[in-house]
């Protein structure tokens, strides 16, 4: 029976698990426990065994038909045909097995990339590790939006709530506590001092010690019911399966016609049976599902190399049809690299450099330099703003600095783990000598009202460290903040940071110089003016306020302290636009894809960045307040022209997505927070941030950006278009070639000719077409206009845009040409005419594949070396066909005769008819487009 951890106090749990609350586990001890308990992950269902994969190759409908045909042939005494058919069946099964096995490996590799991460305390330092590396005894940090990485006993919680519906069935989140709970075998919902693997932190924050990992967790015990089901077919695969069934019916009709023709002519029934079965198999493109799977798997791997992790396979198909990208601003369109400027309300502005601060008086323009450690105190409003922004902050900082870390600008500032905005604030305070660790030691946090998207602010409550009426800044009291209070010294103080507009609504005073003044209309206008001035230059602005408290509010009612605050300063953070975002947006415009910015930041800042990136040039934008006043119908009308939305809540994101989808747009939406999940789920393509995104957002998303970069979305859309184009190329190529074979077999009796092709020959050509050449088409590079054309609708028919037309007219042209050649050679008495029809049809597949590598570019423009797998497939296919012709023992199997050089050249020449038809059609279409463009 599992240890009832919920019955023990936090200190008892720490003691039993052998963990120090001050340092956590050591690296050596963690390694030892990892070896003992294994990785912290659920035992997945075993992958499909290779033997099962191989067995399924022999149970496919078309293969069963072939096996039956081989058995009947053997029963009738035709062992040669039976052996030939079985050889082709085995070869086809081996090829299909190889494709499926490789695809499985690709998806398994992608799945390993989608593991959650956790913030872990080891050796006295906070680290960010893969959740699978956790062991019992690890101390972890939990915040709003995180997925709980393992079962754990809470050591600290601030308004912590979790969503445990997977265990309890209750949709209401559970409020957590710290005290031990009495009782035996309590239900999970009653163990309120525990958190469980797989649940979601919906509010607040906390720290916990891991008690169980992997299959020992509560989730592990019901893993069989929670583990992922087998991957469903994608919509495209389902459409292609439906296509295959329709072609099968058509094949049966054709077979019946050929069988009747043959019987009327007195053909041998055994030969007719084998021919009919072979032709039926040749018509059905049984290679389609394998080609689709391989194309999607390889495309997902290419996207991963471009930092886009595909979580749901249908997303690969939908990506190519995206018409609108709704993108967040911070970190996606911008660099998420904050440069902090602190603007006081006492007429002083501080611009931070790497190791000093430049203070400029806005009254007389005088400048001074502040360097930490030189004994010159910071102006009081600056100090208050820095202290407040560092303490009202959940960024975690290790003790030891890490040289070269991207979260810091120089080697004297330690790296931080957490939200980039909070990291910037901590780093800013640290540079000016106000280390977060020291401040937290002197002003210990005792309560918190966490940030949420509705209030747009966060508040922390602290014990107030004072001496002689002044704040203590360091342990030896050698540095004091030179602030003399005009209010009575109180035991507690609260700091609030958040949107400036929101803070002004709950503030009653403002700090000016070294005194407090009422926040009248004049001061409010000044603050708003300064806020707008910074925001208009693309700067993200936060306000900082504080309040003295005689008493702490009741637990769970910390938000009640957010009233009558003293507004102290503005913090501006400049986050420059990503250089690659500019070019990516330009590519989107060329590709007929509209970019929309949706952000919670100030509208003037959003407008500035949007204009810089050419997202919007008309100055239009809508705020969250504007959206509240619009109906969905009105929003749909506005959505046609407005490309910038600011001060938007996650709920309003959902409304924007609905409005765009109602207009017929195919929408990609980015998000990173818990409340973004509905919008991500509603969008056609939900895109979560891999770095700053919460686990909830990642679970709801179809794709995760591993680098949080807008350019990665555009790259993924390009890959999606390439994949869809290549699947259509295969369909066009395969069915056109199949149609030519059907024409030959169907019309030959009308010309009083014996059937030109033997059953084994039909199967051989089918194998060549669905094998190497088809796979080579699936890795064809992008079309030259892939991102210079509008997106195609995702529900379009596979026969749209000329595919059905080409299958009919090119297939008919090739079939009639090859049949005409056979008819003419037969009339001349050439004994090799049947072999020549077979060889011509086989070679035609090679030239057809080369021509159909591109829908619009001539082969000479693309070059033979631009798809080296195709070149290799062509050479190998040509070699295999030559082997069939000139290898003596194969002559008997395929019923061929060796050809002379003249005959071989005739076959090669006639086999190019399909190639020239496709190329001339491209040239004609290109001329029409050029003529239309010149008008």
Annotated active-site residue 328? The verdict is yes
Count Cα neighbours of 728 within 13 Å in the Cβ-side half-sphere: 23
* Structure tokens, 196: 């469980």
**Residue 456 zone, left/alpha/beta (φ > 0; ψ -120 to 50; rest):** left
Residue 752's Cβ-count burial label (10 Å; 0-12, 13-18, 19+) is exposed
Helical (H) or strand (E) element with 442: helix 436-442
Which residues is 544 bridged to in the sheet? Answer: 497, 569
Q: Tell me the torsion sign for CA atoms 462, 467, 472, 476.
A: negative
User: Rg for the chain (alpha carbons), in Å?
Assistant: 35
Given a contact cutoff of 8 angstroms between Cβ atoms, the answer to whether 429 and 437 are in contact is: no
**Residue 907 zone, left/alpha/beta (φ > 0; ψ -120 to 50; rest):** alpha
Given a contact cutoff of 8 angstroms between Cβ atoms, the answer to whether 241 and 218 are in contact is: no
Neighbour tally for 649: CB within 10 Å: 17
Cβ within 8 Å of residue 3, ≥6 positions away = 16, 211
Cβ within 8 Å of residue 326, ≥6 positions away = 596, 598, 653, 656, 657, 660, 667, 668, 669, 670, 683
Given a contact cutoff of 8 angstroms between Cβ atoms, the answer to whether 98 and 289 are in contact is: no
* Of 146, 151, 328, 695, catalytic: 328
Cβ within 8 Å of residue 469, ≥6 positions away = 484, 485, 489
**CA 165 from chain center: how many Å?**
26
> Dihedrals φ, ψ of 351, to 5°?
-110, 125
Helix, strand or coil, per DSSP, at residue 114: coil
Q: Which of 230, 270, 3 is nearest to 136 (CA)?
A: 3
Determine the Cα–Cα distance for residues 818 and 844; give it in Å rounded to an integer: 10
DSSP output for 256-316: HHHHHHHHHHT--HHHHHHHHHHHHHHHS-TTHHHHHHHHHHHHHHHHHHTTEEESSTHHH
In our burial notation (b when 16+ CB lie closer than 10 A, e otherwise), range 382-406 reads bbbbbbbbbbbbbbbbbeeeeeeee
Determine the Cα–Cα distance for residues 231 and 515; give it in Å rounded to an integer: 65
First to last CA, the chain: 82
Helix, strand or coil, per DSSP, at residue 120: strand
Alpha carbon of 862 to those of 49, 207, 436, 801: distances in Å? 41, 58, 59, 21
* Structure tokens, 736: 């056109």
Determine the Cα–Cα distance for residues 430 and 422; give it in Å rounded to an integer: 12
Determine the Cα–Cα distance for residues 185 and 195; give it in Å rounded to an integer: 16
* Structure tokens, 79: 């062992």
Determine the Cα–Cα distance for residues 896 and 765; give it in Å rounded to an integer: 14
Q: Which of 187, 183, 125, 176 is nearest to 154 (CA)?
A: 176
* Structure tokens, 560: 């009640």
Helix, strand or coil, per DSSP, at residue 646: strand
Give the active site residues.
328
């Amino acid at each position: 029976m599992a240890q009832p951890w919920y019955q023990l106090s936090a200190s008892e749990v720490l003691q039993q698990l052998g963990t120090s609350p001050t340092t956590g586990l050591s690296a050596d001890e963690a390694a030892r426990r990892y070896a003992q308990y294994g990785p912290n992950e659920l035992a997945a269902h075993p992958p499909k065994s290779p033997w099962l994969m191989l067995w399924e190759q022999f149970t496919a409908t078309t293969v069963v038909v072939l096996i039956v045909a081989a058995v009947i042939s053997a029963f009738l005494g035709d062992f040669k045909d039976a052996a030939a058919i079985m050889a082709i069946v085995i070869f086809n099964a081996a090829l299909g097995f190889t494709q499926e096995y490789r695809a499985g490996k690709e998806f398994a590799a992608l799945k390993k990339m989608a593991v959650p991460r956790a913030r872990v305390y080891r050796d006295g330092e906070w680290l960010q590790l893969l959740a699978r590396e956790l062991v019992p005894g690890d101390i972890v940090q939990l915040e709003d939006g995180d997925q709980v990485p393992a079962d754990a006993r809470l050591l600290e919680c601030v308004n912590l709530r979790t969503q445990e519906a997977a265990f309890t069935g209750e949709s209401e989140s559970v409020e957590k506590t710290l005290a031990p709970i009495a009782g035996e075998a309590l239900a999970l919902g009653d163990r309120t001092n525990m958190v469980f693997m797989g649940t979601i932190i919906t509010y607040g924050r906390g720290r916990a010690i891991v008690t169980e990992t992997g299959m020992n967790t509560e989730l592990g015990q019901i893993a069989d019911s929670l583990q992922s089901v087998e991957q469903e077919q994608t919509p495209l695969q389902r459409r292609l399966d439906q296509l295959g069934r329709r072609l099968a019916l058509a094949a049966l009709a054709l077979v019946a016609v050929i069988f009747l023709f043959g019987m009327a002519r007195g053909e041998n029934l055994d030969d007719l049976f084998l021919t009919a079965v072979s032709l039926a198999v040749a018509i059905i493109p049984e290679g389609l599902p394998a080609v689709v799977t391989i194309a999607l798997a390889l495309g997902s791997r290419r996207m991963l190399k471009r930092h886009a992790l595909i979580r749901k396979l249908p997303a690969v198909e939908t990506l190519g049809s995206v018409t609108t990208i709704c993108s967040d601003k911070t970190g996606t369109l911008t660099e998420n690299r904050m440069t902090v400027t602190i603007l006081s309300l006492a007429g002083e502005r501080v611009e931070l450099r790497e190791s000093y601060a430049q203070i400029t008086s806005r009254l007389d323009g005088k400048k001074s330099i502040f360097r930490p450690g030189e004994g010159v105190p910071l102006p009081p409003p600056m100090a208050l703003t820095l202290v407040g922004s560092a303490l009202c902050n959940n960024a975690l900082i290790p003790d030891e600095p890490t040289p070269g870390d991207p979260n810091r600008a120089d080697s004297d500032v330690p790296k931080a783990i957490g939200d980039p905005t909070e990291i910037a604030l901590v780093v800013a305070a640290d540079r000016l000598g106000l280390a977060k660790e020291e401040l937290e030691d002197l002003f210990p946090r005792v309560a918190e009202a966490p940030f949420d998207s509705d209030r747009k602010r966060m508040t922390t409550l602290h014990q107030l460290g004072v001496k002689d009426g002044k704040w203590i800044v360091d342990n030896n009291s050698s540095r004091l903040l030179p602030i003399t209070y005009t209010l009575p010294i109180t035991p507690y103080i609260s700091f609030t940071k958040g949107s400036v507009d929101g803070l002004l609504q709950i503030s009653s005073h403002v700090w000016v110089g070294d005194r407090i003044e009422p926040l009248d209309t004049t001061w409010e206008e000044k603050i708003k003016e300064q806020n707008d001035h910074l925001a208009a230059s693309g700067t993200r602005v936060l306000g900082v306020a504080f309040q003295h408290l005689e008493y702490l509010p009741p637990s769970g009612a910390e938000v009640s302290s957010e009233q009558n605050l003293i507004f102290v300063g503005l913090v501006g953070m400049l986050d420059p636009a990503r250089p690659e975002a500019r070019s990516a947006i330009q590519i989107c415009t060329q590709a007929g894809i509209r970019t929309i910015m949706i952000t919670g930041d100030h509208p003037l800042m959003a407008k500035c960045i949007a204009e810089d990136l050419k997202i919007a040039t008309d100055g239009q934008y809508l705020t969250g307040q504007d959206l509240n006043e619009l109906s969905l119908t009105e929003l749909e009308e506005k959505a046609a022209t407005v490309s910038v939305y600011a001060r938007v809540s996650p709920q309003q994101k959902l409304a924007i997505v609905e409005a765009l989808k109602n207009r017929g747009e195919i929408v990609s939406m980015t998000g990173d927070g818990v409340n973004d999940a509905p919008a991500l789920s509603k969008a056609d393509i939900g895109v979560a941030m891999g770095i700053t995104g919460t686990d909830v957002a990642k679970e709801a998303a179809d794709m995760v950006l591993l680098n949080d970069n807008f350019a990665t979305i555009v790259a993924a859309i390009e890959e999606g278009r390439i994949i869809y184009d290549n699947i259509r190329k295969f369909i066009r190529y395969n069915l056109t070639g199949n149609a030519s074979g059907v024409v030959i077999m169907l019309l030959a009796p009308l010309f009083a000719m014996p059937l030109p092709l033997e059953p084994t020959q039909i199967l051989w050509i089918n194998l060549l077409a669905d094998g190497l050449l088809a796979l080579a088409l699936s890795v064809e590079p992008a079309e030259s206009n892939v991102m210079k054309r509008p997106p195609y609708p995702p529900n379009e028919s596979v026969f749209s845009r000329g595919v059905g037309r080409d299958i009919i007219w090119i297939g008919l042209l090739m079939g009639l040409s090859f049949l005409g050649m056979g008819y003419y050679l037969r009339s001349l008495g050439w004994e090799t005419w049947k072999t020549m029809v077979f060889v011509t049809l086989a070679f035609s597949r090679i030239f057809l594949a080369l021509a159909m590598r591109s829908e619009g570019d001539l082969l000479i423009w693309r070059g033979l070396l631009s798809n080296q797998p195709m070149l290799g497939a062509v050479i190998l296919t040509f070699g295999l066909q030559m082997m069939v012709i000139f290898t003596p023992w194969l002559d008997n199997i395929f019923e061929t005769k060796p050809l002379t050089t003249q005959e071989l050249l005739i076959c090669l020449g006639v086999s190019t008819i399909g190639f020239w038809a496709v190329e001339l059609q491209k040239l004609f279409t290109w001329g029409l487009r050029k003529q239309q463009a010149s008008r």
